[in-house]
Amino acid sequence: MSQHVLDQFMFVALPYVCLFTFFLMTIYRYRMQSFSYSSLSSQFLENKHHFWAVVPFHYGILVVTAGHFVAFLIPRTLLAWNSHPLRLYVLEITALAFGLLTFIGLTGVIVRRLSSSKVRIVTSPTDWILFAMLLIQTGSGISNALVYPWGSSWFATSMAPYLWSILKLSPDVTFVTAMPWMIKLHVVLAFLTIGFFPFTRLVHVLVIPNPYLWRKPQVVRWYGRK
């Protein structure tokens, strides 16, 4: 297979397949099996190490994911912010710190699941595949940050246009194909995770509760009144 075909497959076909699967299957699962949408918490079965695994992982992953979204949505603003070296350093170090937090948390999640026989019972093969994907993804993300520094800037200049081109249905792979293999791996795995998402426990991210913050404390439901 020529490099060109491979690139087209990895950075055009695969992203569309994964995104399509994501939207179709999350909606399908929500409509057909809404019962299966759950964070599947295991705190009840093991409460001693739970905090030290789940909490750092989530704070880490939430900040890191949010960072990717910001760079994707407002690349120019980000570049302007980074134009000042001190601000660049602060941003990069913060991002790296949260990346490490994710990695440590995720390792904790995996170790906890391996070491508690009760939690192991509620860990499915899907979970193990997902943890492996997330671990490689976080690992490659941290390596990228260390080996190819100032990612917040090169993401804004190179990755954001590529992602936008995918979204605008006129894929332009020139920027990504020039990237080193470790970054390519990170991109491909990101799309794979998105495609795998609807088949995993990750769907809990889509049902995070927001009305709670402004609803009245008590909830009453009446027959026939929706």
Partner 1 sequence: MNIRSQVSMVFHLDKCIGCHTCSIACKNVWTDRKGAEYMWWNNVETKPGTGYPTQWEDQDKYRGGWEKNSQDKLVIKSTGKARVVPNIFHNPHMPSMDDYYEPWTYDYQNLFNAPEGADQPIAKAISMITGEDIDIQAGPNWDDDLGGSEIYAANDPNLAGLTEQQRLQLNSVERLVFYYLPRICNHCLNPCCVASCPSGALYKRGEDGIVLIDQKRCRAWRSCVAACPYKKTYFNWFTGKSEKCILCFPRLETGQAPACFHSCVGRIRYLGVLLYDADRLEEVANMPDNQLVEGQRSLILNPHDPEVIRGAQSAGIPDSVIESAQQSPVYKFVMDWKIALPPHIEYRTLPMLFYVPPMSPVIANFEDGLANHSMDSLFHGIDQSRVPMQYFANLFGAGHEGVVRYAMGKQLAVRWHRRAETVGDVDRATADRYLHEADLTVEDAEAIYRLTSLCTFEDRFVIPPMHREQAIEMIKDPYEVKAETGFGFVGGPQRGL
Nearer to ligand HEM, 39 or 177 (CB): 39
213: contact with ligand HEM by CB under 6 A: no
87: contact with ligand HEM by CB under 6 A: no
Q: Which of 97, 135, 111, 123 is nearest to 49 (CA)?
A: 111
Query: Which residue is it, tokens 């099996």?
Result: 33
Angstrom distance (rounded) from CA 43 to CA 161 = 41
Q: Restricting to residues 75-114, name those near partner 1 by CB under 8 A.
A: none
Q: Restricting to residues 116-155, name those near ligand HEM by CB under 6 A.
A: none
- What 3-state class would DSSP assign to 225? strand
31: contact with partner 1 by CB under 8 A: no
65: contact with ligand HEM by CB under 6 A: yes
Q: Restricting to residues 188-207, name those near ligand HEM by CB under 6 A.
A: 201-202, 204-205
Using CA of residue 144, residue 99, residue 132, residue 104, what is the dihedral sign? positive
| Binding partner at 186 among ligand HEM, partner 1, none, C-beta below 5 to 8 Å by kind | none
DSSP letter, residue 168: T
Amino acid at the residue 53: A
Angstrom distance (rounded) from CA 19 to CA 179 = 22
In the set 37, 150, 164, 175, which binds partner 1 (CB under 8 A)? 37
The dihedral region occupied by 119, where left means phi > 0, alpha psi between -120 and 50, and beta the remainder, is alpha
Backbone angles phi, psi at 225, to 5 degrees: -105, 120
Contacting positions for partner 1 (CB under 8 A): 33-47, 50-51, 54-55, 58-59, 117-118, 120-122, 124, 126-127, 199-201, 203-204, 207-209, 211-213, 215, 217-225
Contacting positions for ligand HEM (CB under 6 A): 39, 41-43, 54, 58, 61-62, 65, 109, 113, 201-202, 204-205, 208
